[in-house]
Amino acid sequence: MRLAETVTFGGSGLNRAAELRSDAAAQAGLLGRGQVLPVWRGKPLMQADALGWVGSDSVVLHHAGAPVFLGLDGDVPCFAADISDWMPEAGADAVQAGFIDTSEQHHPALPESFAFAELRAVMLRLTPRDAELATIAKAVLQWHRSHGFCAVCGAKSVSAMAGWQRSCQTCGAQHFPRTDPVVIMLVIHGNRALLGRSPGWPEGMYSCLAGFVEPGETVEAAVRREVWEEAGIRLGAVRYLASQPWPFPASLMLGCAGEALGDAITLDPNEIEHALWVSREDMVSVMAGTHPMIKPARKGAIAHFLIQNWLADRLD
């Protein structure tokens, strides 16, 4: 798909400078002259419509863990640091539970224009470069928070290689950031596409079917299995279209198109709440937000991207 990398979080060609990760002296020099993105409980710091960078000596980083080297933005070294141990002042906006958190938290050491915000709530405001940097920061820092102990012996592990590795000083095991592959499918039958919804989604919201790739499974096999399990539909030809890093918490969405061999839907209620076929004509109103029953997939998500390009005949 020629437009594949224009998807949100699709990448901006950031120089990750991986060759510098093992050089502790170089890392210290880069950090001293670089910029740091504070991340609080998964929320990157924002300043208006851009990421909110601070210097490595900022008081905001008082509670920070070991920084992660993101790469070089031109000549500027970029790092991220987890400050989740910081506690907002009494009366600050509380984190909102549910489908998406729209609350914002302000640090007293920063101007009011700076705020910690849920990445899904601000992703469409970011440039491709900021989106890539924020994705790396959120995913790798979350991995550090959830993988603090060695999976081999259970001892506490420590950050290494500028944040791109965790080392166990007890048994010597080395651990690396994980990414979970997920297939997401635009299933087509003639002039119609298949949409489904999960329990707990906003009322009326539908999207493409999706599921994790299992061990020993090809992408194409995962697409066929997931569609059969969730909707009882067999697929013929399956082709890959585009991918999207999705750091919620650590997925790589593998966008595919699949040709349905039939249109009879048999739902597995343990997988999805409802599924239906939507014609091209109806999908136009769905994507425009004017359909009386169906709300579109979230803008910025690869499902929205795939459907939009299907309507525009750009799945090549």
Paired sense of beta strands 251-260 and 180-189, if any: parallel
Mean residue pLDDT across the chain: 95
pLDDT tens for 244-267 read 999 999 999 999 999 999 999 999
- Whether the pLDDT of residue 98 is over 80: the answer is no
| Range in 8-22, 82-96, 147-161, 284-298 the model is least confident about | 82-96
pLDDT at 118 exceeding the cut of 70: yes
| Percent of the chain residues topping a pLDDT of 70 | 97
Q: What is the pLDDT of residue 91?
A: 57
DSSP E strands: which ranges in the chain? 35-40, 43-47, 50-51, 68-73, 76-82, 104-105, 114-117, 157-160, 165-168, 174-175, 180-189, 192-197, 209-212, 235-246, 251-260, 274-279
- Between helix 280-288 and helix 302-311 the angle, nearest 10°, is 130
**3 state DSSP class of 238:** strand
Instruction: Average the pLDDT over 106-116 and give the result.
Output: 96
| Interatomic CA distance for residues 137 and 67, integer angstroms | 10
Confidence check: pLDDT of 210 > 90 = yes
pLDDT interval class at 11 (50, 70, 90): confident
User: Which residues neighbour 279 within 8 Å (Cβ) at sequence distance 6 or greater?
Assistant: 191, 192
pTM, 2 dp: 0.94
- Three-state DSSP class for 7? coil
Please say if the pLDDT value at position 89 is more than 80. Answer: no
Q: How far apart are CA 252 and CA 243, in angstroms?
A: 7
